[in-house]
Amino acid sequence: MNSEKLKYSGFARLYLWTTKAKYTMGIFFLMHVLVYLLLGLLNEGAAVTLDFFTAVQMMFACFFIGILQQWILPVEKLSRARCVLWVVSGVAVTLVFNLVFGWFRPFPLWCLILFLLLTALGMVAMILGYYLQLHQETKHLNRRLEQYQRRNSGKQG
């Protein structure tokens, strides 16, 4: 397969799709770990640690959040309904993983509630980033279109 065919192949589209999901996974994994450890520090003191299996579980939960983002909320299909659906599904994934694996079993209930709220807030912040990115791209494209039209308006007359 030559390089031009590879650039536009189904493999390339899938690879880029999963790469974007992994970016989201990495951001949320970092948030999950840091918030979990911070809540543990606030609740239990410095003795709270994150064991390997809990970290792997959090990584998979965050990977599912990233996959859901690419499936529900691709940048080119940004809408209010899709945003709400992605936030609700991401919080649901986090809650299900917590219920199945008991991440917050030793913590008071307020820790889980705060964790879920911060997850939702992080997702909203990511959506804001999408919105700002689209706004800047639109402004840039409009500016380029105006330049093109100005350059070519004299050539037609």
pLDDT digits 0-9 by tens, 63-108: 999 999 989 988 778 899 999 999 999 999 999 999 999 999 989 9
Q: Quick check: is 92 in a domain?
A: yes
Q: Quick check: is 74 in a domain?
A: yes
Q: Quick check: is 157 in a domain?
A: no
Task: Specify the pLDDT at position 96.
Answer: 98
**Cβ–Cβ < 8 Å for 75, 61:** no
Q: Quick check: is 1 in a domain?
A: no
**Cβ–Cβ < 8 Å for 111, 43:** yes
Neighbours of 41 (CB within 10 A): 12
pTM: 0.79
The domain total for the chain is 1
**Which residues span the domain enclosing 109?**
8-152
- Cα R_g (the chain), whole angstroms: 21
Q: Quick check: is 2 in a domain?
A: no
Q: Give the DSSP letter of residue 46.
A: T
Q: Quick check: is 3 in a domain?
A: no
**Cβ–Cβ < 8 Å for 59, 36:** no
Reply yes or no on whether the pLDDT at 111 is more than 80. Answer: yes
**Cβ–Cβ < 8 Å for 48, 6:** no
